[in-house]
Amino acid sequence: QVQLVESGGGLVQTGGSLRLSCAASGSIFRINTMGWYRQAPGKQRELVATITSGGITNYADSVKGRFTISRDNAKNTVYLQMNSLKPEDTAVYYCNYNSLRNRSWGQGTQVSVSS
């Protein structure tokens, strides 16, 4: 089992910034992909960004140029730096861990961007 704990969510004005953190613990397989997904009320969960243990990143088109995903393998932690936030970024953000052995989801952290 892998446990994920997110932090860093909050309320910010349009154009502001937030940094999300997700700390993983448990039976972590060294070759894995971690990432962030988000879900707004009444909408489907969507991919925001992912990063492999080798550092390969993938971003949703809607956040390219504004968000940056990074990770610290020594700390088993993934980060999401969110800049130039827009109201449409408002959602619950979920951390994800995926490996050949297992996959896990965090409980989610609320990000609210006021217009």
Report the pLDDT value the prediction gives residue 36, as an integer from 0 to 100. Answer: 98
Rounded CA gap, 91 and 9, in Å? 10
Report the pLDDT value the prediction gives residue 73, as an integer from 0 to 100. Answer: 86
Rounded CA gap, 35 and 16, in Å? 21
Tell me whether strands 46-52 and 57-59 are parallel, antiparallel or unpaired. antiparallel
pLDDT (tens place) for every residue of the chain, 115 residues total: 999 999 999 999 999 999 999 999 999 999 999 999 999 999 999 999 999 999 999 999 999 999 999 999 889 999 999 999 999 999 999 999 999 999 999 999 999 999 9
